[in-house]
A and B are shown apart, each in its own frame.
Chain A
């Protein structure tokens, strides 16, 4: 008989009796083979279904609930399941929110670009200038990745404070005569801390993309006469765009939705959109509004990324 009882690929989905011509012309297939295939199919489905179910219930559903809640009405420090557009209207038109938004956008863009640039040079050096130390340097970056999130932000708070380590150093080396108070509670602090925990995350995709370029490919370019700079420009860069895009997208999404860093390192005028979401969820208990703000935020991020990458593609082709 045929080997079709062994389900590789989508054959598992083909019904056993789906080939009437075949079956008719030969003796009836032994029952065992059919049930074997079916058992495997059931087994595969079950195996996949478990994590899939978990994923749907605890990821997709909560997001759906969030969307639903964003349409609820806020009333007396509580909210009721009454449908309204008010939250979205407010999210999109509130002038105060707009200020928050553009402030967040400004810093997020700046930090994301900075991370990508720094990470790119870093990865390039690791791959092509100091290839001997490549492994250990990358390892170090990975290690720093697990240096924590909150701990880092807290660390910068201690370093940048009036009697913190940095000021200490500056006074000691006579760069300034009294503590610089601008360091903390400022955009500067926020940016520095975000850079600090995002750079390892930027190096990862960029370095991996570079690693995937065969060194012989670069030799080929050199053989055809390309200088180093040209090789980087015409070969390395185009082949690492996917990594660059991933790094940028990741940083941008993360920074736009940030709230911990601004809260702990920024002043009252430095708060991000995320902080407003926190406020609605925590203080005013206006969950619907918080949800609406969060959702419009992510929608705008996706839209912006889409536009940005679309433009990029237009420009490079």
Chain B
């Protein structure tokens, strides 16, 4: 539509700006205060300093939690990646009707309240006698990550040129060779993107970890535990680390999956 409603555009711009400021302000504040030289929790920045980062880097509990968070992220990515890939590959041979079912059912955990799933996991582990641990958490994270893996792979498979597989078969390639030399390389950006996304989800995840990690706390759990002792910029440092990590992973996921092989 060809209109020049400039007044309208200005108003719209203001609205959008306000919303975006609202969305980003808390994150910006966290990061800013984490660099505060003093232990002020407000924006009266009295100097720039890394001291809080040094502090948490020297804190064994934090470091251990960071390690566990990283472990969980990688494990989640690998497991959900493999599961998602096998599922997607199996699903392509189905009728469209079944295919949509396969791709929508894993999405259920998306809308599902985390609390319910978390306590469900807790009771489940209790029932089968498995203690709480980081692995218990990882198992739960995979369920959360699966929807996203399926979404990304589903989209990639939608664009996938299956005629290429026919061409390979025509040239004599067996199923495994086709998979190894054609399917996998062409799907690699999507798979990588999905895995990075899973990592981002796992790093940030709190509720499931809360109920299933037991004493093997992840970084968000450490943050949570210390909030109740009072806020201080050291916590902001932890928060910033989490923030940057999640965003970086998500950003990489986006970049990787966009670099599609045409």
Contacts and interface: CB of A to CB of B under 8 A. Distances in A.
- Are A and B in contact, CB atoms below 8 Å, in the complex? yes
Interface of A: 7-10, 12, 40, 43-52, 54-55, 58-59, 61-63, 65-66, 68-69, 118, 121-122, 125-126, 128-130, 137, 140-152, 154-159, 161, 163-165, 167-169, 195-196, 199-200, 218-219, 222, 228, 249-250, 253-254, 256-260, 264, 274, 277, 281, 287, 290-291, 294-295, 297-298, 301
B7 to A, nearest CB: 11
27 contacts: A7-B93, A49-B90, A50-B86, A62-B123, A63-B117, A68-B127, A121-B15, A129-B9, A137-B20, A142-B254, A143-B247, A147-B26, A148-B243, A150-B220, A150-B239, A151-B243, A154-B227, A155-B27, A155-B30, A158-B231, A164-B41, A165-B29, A168-B43, A199-B19, A250-B111, A254-B113, A257-B116
B83 A51 contact: yes
Interface residues of B, number: 85
B223 A154 contact: yes
Given A12-B93, A48-B102, A51-B84, A146 B121 contact: no
Interface majority SS (helix, strand, loop, mixed), chain B:
helix
B77 to A, nearest CB: 15
Given A163-B41, A164-B42, A130 B120 contact: no
Contacts of B242: 148, 150-151
A59 B109 contact: yes
Given A44-B94, A65-B127, A147 B247 contact: yes
A148 B204 contact: yes
B200 A48 contact: no
A239 to B, nearest CB: 17
B120 to A, nearest CB: 4
* Closest A-B pairs by Cβ, 6 of them: A47-B90, A257-B113, A155-B26, A62-B124, A9-B95, A51-B87
B206 interface: yes
A122 B87 contact: no
Instruction: With a 10 A CB-CB cut-off, give which of A65, A69, A146, A157 has the most chain B CB atoms.
Output: A146
A163 B123 contact: no
A94 B179 CA distance: 59
A150 B112 CA distance: 18
Nearest to A9: B95
Contacts of A130: 9, 12-13, 16
B16 A61 contact: no
Contacts of A122: 15-16, 19
B261 interface: no
Instruction: With a 10 A CB-CB cut-off, give which of A59, A129, A155, A195 has the most chain B CB atoms.
Output: A59
Contacts of A156: 26
Contact of A161 (B87, B98, B231): B231
Contacts of B207: 260
B163 interface: no
A47 B109 CA distance: 21
A58 B127 contact: no
B204 A155 contact: no
A159 to B, nearest CB: 6
B12 A144 contact: no
A58 B120 CA distance: 9
B142 A58 contact: yes
Interface in B99-132: 102, 105-106, 108-117, 119-124, 126-127
Nearest to A256: B113
A189 to B, nearest CB: 12
Contact of B119 (A46, A68, A290): A290
Given A47-B90, A256-B113, 13 more contacts: A7-B93, A44-B94, A51-B106, A55-B106, A59-B108, A125-B12, A125-B15, A129-B9, A157-B231, A163-B41, A257-B115, A260-B207, A281-B211
